[in-house]
C-alpha cells in the first residue's frame, strides 16, 4: 500500500515543470505514485519514454465518455484542463484504492521538503486545503480567486473524502468558468472548495506557511536559510507554486506576472527551480532535438522580471 497517490493534469506547456515537480517529489517524498493525466500526445510519449517506475500515465479517453464529452463541449481548453483536476483525482481514488492519502498537484509546484508535513498536521482529517494567505498587494483578489488555492487539494482514503471529491468533480463538470464571478463566488474549479467547510466534516486548512508559497503571498513573508533548508518565517518551505513563470528557452525565463521577486526569493527559491527546468529541457532535447512544446514566445509574456542563467 502506497502512502501517497498524487495526481496532476499535464498539457505540453507544462512538460518541463511537471518533470521538475516529479524530481523534487523523488527527492523529498519516501513513498508515492504520481498519476499524470496527459492532455496531449507529445507529453504522453515523452514521459512514457522515460519509464519512471512510480509514474502512471493516463489519457482522457479512459476517464469515461459521458463526463468528458459534456465538459469538452461547452468550455475553453483552459477550462477543460481545470475540469480534469477533480475528475482525475476522483478516478484515481476510485480505481487505485491502495493509498493512505491522495492529492491533486498543479504541475508547476516544486517541492523543497516532504509533503507529508502537510498531512501530519491533522492525520485524521478527510480533506486538506491551502489558503492563499495573500500579501497586502493581493488582498483584493480574495473577491475573485477566493480563499483557497486548488494547486494543492489533499484528502485521505475514506468514503467521506470520496464524497467530497465527487461533489467537486460534479460541480466542475457542470460549470468551470475561467472568468471570475465574485457575486456567485465562482472561478474555475477553485471557489467550489470554499463550500467544503459547511458541507463536509474534518476539513483541515493547512497551517504551515511553507505550503503553497507563491507570487500572491511571498511579499508577506521573511525568507531565510537555516541549516541548508529554506524557511518561510518560522516554517520550512514545503512547496512553491510557480504560477506565471514562463520558459522562454533553456537559459531564459520570465519570472512573474506581477512584481519582481526580491534577492532572497530569487536566490533561494527561483534559481534552484530554473536550474532544474534547464536540466530537464536539456535531457528531453537530447532525445527530441526539435521539440517545440513547453516554451513561450518572448513577445507574448510579461517583461516585469526576465532572467538568464
148, β-bridge pairs: 131
Percent of the chain with pLDDT over 90: 93
Task: Indicate the pairing of strand 252-254 with strand 306-308.
Answer: antiparallel
Predicted pLDDT at 1: 62
Cell representation of residue 99: 493509498
**pLDDT bracket for residue 182 (50, 70, 90):** very high
Predicted pLDDT at 63: 87
Q: What domains are there in the chain, each with its CATH number?
A: 2-308 (3.90.550.10)
What is the average per-residue pLDDT within 155-159? Answer: 98
Cβ atoms within 10 A of the Cβ of 264, count? 15
Instruction: Determine the Cα–Cα distance for residues 59 and 48; give it in Å rounded to an integer.
Output: 12
Question: Minimal CA–CA distance to 245: which of 305, 291, 189?
Answer: 305
Whether 308 shows a pLDDT value over 70: the answer reads: yes
The per-residue pLDDT for range 55-95, each reduced to its tens digit, is 999 999 888 777 788 788 899 999 999 999 999 999 999 99
The string over 119-153, giving b where at least 16 C-beta atoms fall within 10 Å of a residue's C-beta and e elsewhere, is beebeebbbbbbbbbbbeebeeeeeebbbbbbbbb
Q: What φ, ψ does residue 250 adopt, rounded to 5°? A: -70, -10
Q: What is the pTM of this model?
A: 0.97
Cβ atoms within 10 A of the Cβ of 154, count? 25
Cβ atoms within 10 A of the Cβ of 39, count? 19
Instruction: Determine the Cα–Cα distance for residues 102 and 118; give it in Å rounded to an integer.
Output: 12
The per-residue pLDDT for range 20-60, each reduced to its tens digit, is 999 999 999 989 999 999 999 999 999 999 999 999 999 99
Better-scored residue on pLDDT, 68 or 153 = 153
Whether 280 shows a pLDDT value over 90: the answer reads: yes
Share the mean pLDDT of the chain: 96
36, β-bridge pairs: 8, 57
Which strands form 148-156's sheet, in the order they lie side by side? 55-59, 32-38, 2-10, 99-105, 148-156, 127-131, 203-205
Burial class of residue 49 (count of CB atoms within 10 Å of its CB; 0-12, 13-18, 19+): exposed
Whether 192 shows a pLDDT value over 90: the answer reads: yes
The per-residue pLDDT for range 219-251, each reduced to its tens digit, is 999 999 999 999 999 999 999 999 999 999 999
Amino acid at each position: 500500500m502506497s502512502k501517497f497517490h498524487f495526481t496532476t493534469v499535464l498539457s505540453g506547456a507544462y512538460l518541463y515543470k511537471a518533470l521538475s515537480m516529479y524530481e523534487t517529489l523523488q527527492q523529498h517524498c519516501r513513498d508515492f505514485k504520481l498519476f499524470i493525466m496527459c492532455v496531449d500526445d507529445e507529453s504522453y510519449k515523452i514521459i512514457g519514454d522515460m519509464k519512471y517506475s512510480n509514474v502512471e500515465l493516463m489519457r482522457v479517453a479512459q476517464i469515461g465518455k459521458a463526463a468528458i464529452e459534456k465538459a469538452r463541449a461547452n468550455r475553453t481548453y483552459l477550462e477543460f484542463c481545470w475540469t480534469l483536476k477533480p475528475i482525475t483525482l476522483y478516478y484515481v481514488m476510485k480505481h487505485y484504492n491502495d493509498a493512505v492519502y491522495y492529492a491533486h498537484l498543479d504541475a508547476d509546484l516544486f517541492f523543497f521538503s516532504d509533503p507529508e508535513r502537510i498531512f501530519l498536521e491533522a492525520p485524521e482529517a478527510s480533506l486538506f486545503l491551502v489558503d492563499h494567505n495573500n500579501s497586502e498587494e493581493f488582498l483584493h483578489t480574495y473577491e475573485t480567486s477566493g480563499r483557497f488555492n486548488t494547486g494543492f487539494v489533499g484528502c485521505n482514503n475514506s468514503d467521506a473524502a470520496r464524497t467530497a471529491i465527487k461533489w467537486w468533480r460534479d460541480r466542475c463538470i457542470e460549470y468551470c468558468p475561467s472568468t471570475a464571478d465574485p457575486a456567485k463566488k465562482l472561478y474555475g474549479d477553485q471557489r467550489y472548495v470554499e463550500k467544503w467547510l459547511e458541507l463536509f466534516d474534518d476539513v483541515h486548512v493547512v497551517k504551515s506557511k511553507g505550503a503553497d508559497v507563491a507570487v500572491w503571498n511571498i511579499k508577506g513573508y521573511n525568507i531565510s536559510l537555516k541549516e541548508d533548508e529554506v524557511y518561510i518565517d518560522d516554517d520550512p518551505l514545503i512547496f512553491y507554486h510557480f504560477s506565471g513563470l514562463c520558459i522562454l528557452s533553456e537559459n531564459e525565463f520570465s519570472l512573474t506576472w506581477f512584481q519582481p521577486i526580491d534577492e532572497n526569493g530569487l536566490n533561494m527559491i527561483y534559481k534552484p527551480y530554473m536550474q532544474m527546468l534547464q536540466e530537464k529541457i536539456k535531457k528531453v532535447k537530447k532525445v527530441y532535438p526539435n521539440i517545440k512544446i513547453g516554451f513561450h514566445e518572448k513577445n507574448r509574456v510579461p517583461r516585469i522580471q526576465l532572467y538568464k542563467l
